[in-house]
Amino acid sequence: MSAAFAFEIKHTCGAARRGVIATPHGAIDTPTFMPIGTRAAVKGLSPAQLLETGAQILLANTYHLMLRPGAETVAALGGLHRFMGWDRPLLTDSGGYQVFSLAELRRVHDDGVDFRSHIDGTLVRLTPESAIQIQNQLGADIIMVLDECPPLPAEPAVLRAAVDRTVAWARRSRAAHRIETQALYGIIQGGLDLELRRQCAAQLVEVGFDGFAVGGLSVGEPPAEMHELLAAFVPELPADRPRYLMGVGTPQDLVAAVAAGVDQFDCVLPTRNGRKGYAFTSVGARRLRNACHTRAAEPLDPACDCYTCRTFSRGYLRHLFLCGEVLGGTLVSLHNIRFYQSLMRQMRDAIGAGTFATWRRTFESGLVGAEPETKEDE
């Protein structure tokens, strides 16, 4: 394990774990949710606002930053922490997810991935070695190996090929990593095939990483199947290393994954949905464009202590969205991130008290489900 990185489990409750990750830029309480700052910014929110939500670590994207402004520019401006005005822990992904999400712009081969830049069409090659070099220059506290993320559903041969390539790239990433102050995580692929996941994990454990991520989920499979896989697979991962579920998910997904023993999460849902007027609350989802909120004087969530809920009514927030005011997206994104951070804190508290299973039942019974869309009355 990296000399500047440590992980300690404080409490367990069933498979659920409460712990602390130590990094050069501070401690992270787990389970933790990492807001996504793809281009070194969480859309619509300042670092000060993110701190107010309780966020302890942010995520930035290697692929996008290598294209603009470039890793060399970020390094020249003091590294990623200084560049984005965030002096707390940071994680950068490797760009591997773009292998999946930008399928029309790339070609995958054993050496790496050739991309056509979505900005200007320039041909760019990303290899396991260059992904590590770029992340070394960016300077995040936790960095990721380059992997191949196959879509789901996928044929067994496609999943096997992605696992073989992911393991080969992980070995090359490990060999290329030279910065001892940065922790390096391996990424486990294998789709919904439990045995293939086990084989991939065993090979990555043999290589040796500071943490292990579960990739390639929430890419089209039914949530129930993802939850089933996590419950069977995650408890088998090394107990002394952080476990990171990439790109997931809804509040229900997070609770199910914590119950399986996951420690770290990231997802665009809180901010992406927030910009569309979709709020996560303690009683389920609210869609602020719905006419039922026109004269609602109540806050988004009476159980929430965020700035948005302390200050504004649902009627005002709906007004902002119907007028096209960008403030609406900022305020709901702020609330959604706070909701996710509060959810993480509640789970940590329940694990510490030994009551996680009871808390989970109460949480799930309190959700009334997504508010249906109705016609706007403007």
Where does 210-352 show beta strands of DSSP type E?
A: 211-214, 243-245, 264-266, 278-281, 284-287
d(CA 363, CA 124): 46
Element holding 236 (H helix, E strand): none
DSSP letter for each residue of 256-272: HHHHHT--EEE-SHHHH
Residue reference for tokens 């990555």: 204
CB burial readout 7-43, b (16+ within 10 A) else e:
beeebbbeebbbbebebebeebbbbbbbbbbbebbbb
Catalytic residue among 210, 253, 266, 301: 266
DSSP letter for each residue of 122-135: -EEEE-HHHHHHHH
User: With 0-12 CB in 10 A as exposed, 13-18 as middle and 19+ as buried, what is 361?
Assistant: exposed
Element holding 175 (H helix, E strand): helix 156-176
**Six-digit token pair at 127?**
């290899």
Catalytic residue among 93, 141, 253, 301: 93
d(CA 134, CA 286): 40
Q: Are 68 and 40 in contact (CB under 8 A)?
A: no
- Catalytic, 93? Answer yes
- Catalytic, 111? Answer no
Q: Are 57 and 337 in contact (CB under 8 A)?
A: no
Half-sphere exposure of residue 145: CA atoms within 13 angstroms, side-chain side: 31
**Six-digit token pair at 198?**
């086990």
d(CA 342, CA 114): 40
Q: Are 57 and 109 in contact (CB under 8 A)?
A: no
Catalytic residue numbers? Answer: 93, 266
